[in-house]
Amino acid sequence: MTPALILPMALAALAALAIPIVIHISRRTETRVVDFAALRWLTPSARPRRRPRIDEIPLLIARILLLTLLALWLARPVLWGVEDARPVIAVAPGVDPAPVIDAAPRGTLILWLAPGFPNIEEAAPEVSADAVSLIRQLDAELSPEARLDVVVPPVLDHADAERPRLTRSVNWRVSGGGGDADEPAPAPAPALSIRHSAEAAESVRYFTAAATSWTPPDAEPRLDVAAVDQPLSAAASHLVWLAAGPPPQSVTDWIENGGTALLSHDATLDVQDAAEAWSDTAGQPMATEARYGRGRVVQFTRPLDPAAMPQLLEADFPDVLERLLTPPPPPARVLAADHAPLAGVAPFDQPPLDLRPWLALLIALLFAAERWLATSARRGATP
């Protein structure tokens, strides 16, 4: 353990120690002068010179100590190397904590895996939306010597794409309860706005057939098919642009504002850092994708003709088209047994122990003692 001061310049306040010393030298305890009748006719002699004398030394010492502690409090004293190495068990909300509490060794700190890491004796908090981030935070805040057990339900929501890495090996315990939340409802199929030139009118049928396959039998396809000179509707979110050359400014502005556009191979639009989005069995790219402002641009690399792109006639083309327009989000639900954290991250520096709360308590006690000494009936006038 190493003591230190965060703000050592605050010790300049120790100059205030001269104040009570000067006060006690300049003012002494009040004394009473009693005149005797037999001495009134005597000629008074000169008073002898007296050395400076300090009265009420206990009170002076209390005041000096009080000012010293105040200056030290301002300097923010800390103690490095004081770390709580007790073993910790973190229980995810939704897991029954009773078996964990019963089996925990004495001296183990049991916490809820929730923001603020409340004690297990408090009411169970709501299920956290990001348990993996909380595990990382808890690992960073614990002493490197502390053992960490994590009790989680069988299924984790909002998990990362890869297993988390921590500074220590964690005893990963999967509870039998919890994890039975309903699967999220699938996202609806995209509504298509198709704009085509006269030369590309034959290609429209592949997209109308895909949109029809996405539609339930008792519903109409969500389609808006028109020529390239027709404006987009205000509710359009997915556009199929089948025309050579650059799209009009209204279309590029629509994409920049967050729209998703699927362009034919002969459309020209200045995009940066295009990446492969779809390839054939030989690994040759068939479509690329790139960001364009706040929107996305997907473009075919081949003509929309079965001779150049036989995949247009395959049964899975509607599924491929849907993935191109609305790529699925990364998996957010994983089996807890397959998501145990890995070790290997360098330990984090632990914060020092702040001594100011203890100094504040000592200052309050010393101030009470100083007031008792200053107002005691056993002393004279207060200096």
Mean pLDDT of 302-322: 92
The full length of the chain comes to 383
Reported pTM: 0.47
3-state secondary structure of 299: strand
Which is nearest to 28 in space by CA: 52, 58, 61? 52
Report all structural domains of the chain as residue ranges with CATH numbers, in order of start.
88-183+335-343 (no CATH), 192-325 (3.40.50.880)
Residues paired with 178 in a beta bridge: none
What DSSP string describes 97-151? Answer: -HHHHHHSPTT-EEEESSTT--BTTSPP-PPPS-HHHHHHHHHHHS-TTS-EEEE
Q: What is the tens place of the pLDDT at every residue in 205-235?
A: 999 999 899 888 877 888 899 999 999 887 7
3-state secondary structure of 65: helix
Q: Tell which wins on pLDDT, 49 or 242.
A: 242
* Residues in Cβ contact with 227 at an 8 Å cutoff, skipping those fewer than 6 apart: 195, 196, 197, 198
Q: What is the tens place of the pLDDT at every residue in 82-134?
A: 677 889 999 999 888 999 999 999 989 999 999 989 999 988 888 766 788 89
**Element spanning 289, H or E:** strand 285-292
pLDDT at 302: 94
